[in-house]
Amino acid sequence: MEGTVVKLDRGFPLVRCDDGANVRCEHATALVKGERLRAVIGDRVIVSMPEGHDKGIIDGILPRRSSFVRKDPADRTSHQVLAANFELVIIAEPIVQLNRRRLERELVLAHETGARVAVVLTKADLAGLDEAEAVRQEVADLAGRSVHVLVASIGDAPSIERVRALLSAGEVAILIGKSGVGKSSLVNMLAGGEVQDVGEVRSFDGKGRHTTVDRVMVDIPGGGRVVDMPGVRGLGLWDADAGLGVAFADVEELAASCRFRDCKHADEPGCAVQAAVKSGDLAQARLDSYRSFGAELEGVRTRRDEARHMRGEKASDRRRKKKGR
């Protein structure tokens, strides 16, 4: 039978089977050793129920239509899939003390999935109306026209409804953001009940403590489902060239007018990007981020290729692994 992984914690995946049953499962030995694949939240899986066994067995993972991927923090030459099969990535960032550098990185990773992307600026009650609108406009300018940018406050029901409206019935969204930005509180408001533990918030800076330690798919009445992801500290890029191009479309549009196709946007003659920086049309910090992310991706490719060469891996093996990520 088939089902969807709806919860991942430190134990075994919980699979909601198509017949409505919830089954705790373990991975088939052949799957883990042969393909080196493990099911993640949102995966569609094939499950068997061996007689006399107290858990279901995940025998196979169906092809993923989308996946959220980062560089494995424990292995510089490998990647880690955190979630699969979603239509929307919601990035939660606090409206006060906004980390613009992290937001840029989150946008690159979100766009790489191919799903729709939205940014929700949380804890709006800690900012005045004018400040909140100024930050919202700044983020909207940074994120681009294709990204919805909303301001939300737990005490403001209309703002929560605007977030709920991002997700249509039957769709799945993943909610990402660092610990303490209010993701669990937002999920509780969307779900209409206490489905996630919420940590206390410090009064002097509005920061919360990390509470979500597992990944769980939560049903949202009339609005699909949301995966509340634990606060992820490491967001290393992996195969994110397409995401970089979308997140920094302004830079790449300028780069198309550079004199040289391989322009590094440093000190080359005829660089349209540097010209935009000098004229004030492009912020130097924006270019610095673009170049830094590009260098990071190049470093990942180099280390990955070296590791593949050492393992004697063939090109056909690489294509098969990438298809199954």
- The predicted-structure confidence for 40-94, as pLDDT tens digits, reads as follows 999 999 999 988 888 899 999 999 999 999 998 888 788 889 999 999 999 999 9
Nearest Cα to Cα of residue 59 among 8, 94, 93, 25: 25
**Which residues, 6+ apart, have CB-to-CB distance to 289 below 8 Å?**
101, 104, 248
- Sign of dihedral through CA atoms 39, 43, 44, 47? positive
CA distance 206 to 47: 44
Check residue 150 and report its DSSP letter.
E
Nearest Cα to Cα of residue 82 among 308, 198, 238, 188: 238
pLDDT at 199: 44
CA distance 112 to 244: 8
* Beta carbons of 214 and 224 less than 8 angstroms apart: no
* Mean local confidence (pLDDT), 97-123: 94
- Sign of dihedral through CA atoms 233, 236, 241, 242? negative
Give pTM, 2 decimals.
Answer: 0.86
Assign 281 a pLDDT band (cuts: 50, 70, 90). very high
Name the least confident of 20-24, 112-116, 182-186, 199-203.
199-203
* Beta carbons of 237 and 297 less than 8 angstroms apart: yes
Whether the pLDDT of residue 208 is over 50: the answer is: no
Q: Which helix (H) or strand (E) holds 77?
A: none
CA-to-CA dists, residue 4 to 20, 171, 187, angstroms: 10, 13, 20
* Beta carbons of 91 and 106 less than 8 angstroms apart: yes
pLDDT at 32: 74
More reliable by pLDDT, 309 or 122: 122
Q: Write out the two tokens for 240.
A: 């994110």
pLDDT at 2: 95
Assign 244 a pLDDT band (cuts: 50, 70, 90). very high
**Which range scores top for mean pLDDT: 33-37, 165-169, 254-258?**
254-258
pLDDT at 182: 83
More reliable by pLDDT, 148 or 184: 148
Assign 125 a pLDDT band (cuts: 50, 70, 90). confident
Whether the pLDDT of residue 3 is over 90: the answer is: yes
pLDDT at 211: 45
CA-to-CA dists, residue 268 to 131, 167, 255, 272, angstroms: 39, 45, 12, 10
In this prediction, what percent of the chain has a pLDDT beyond 90?
Answer: 59
CA distance 175 to 161: 16
Question: How far, in whole angstroms, is CA 84 from its chain's centroid?
Answer: 10
* Mean local confidence (pLDDT), 276-305: 93
User: What amino acid occupies position 154?
Assistant: I
pLDDT at 73: 83
The number of beta carbons lying within 10 Å of the beta carbon of residue 304 is 18
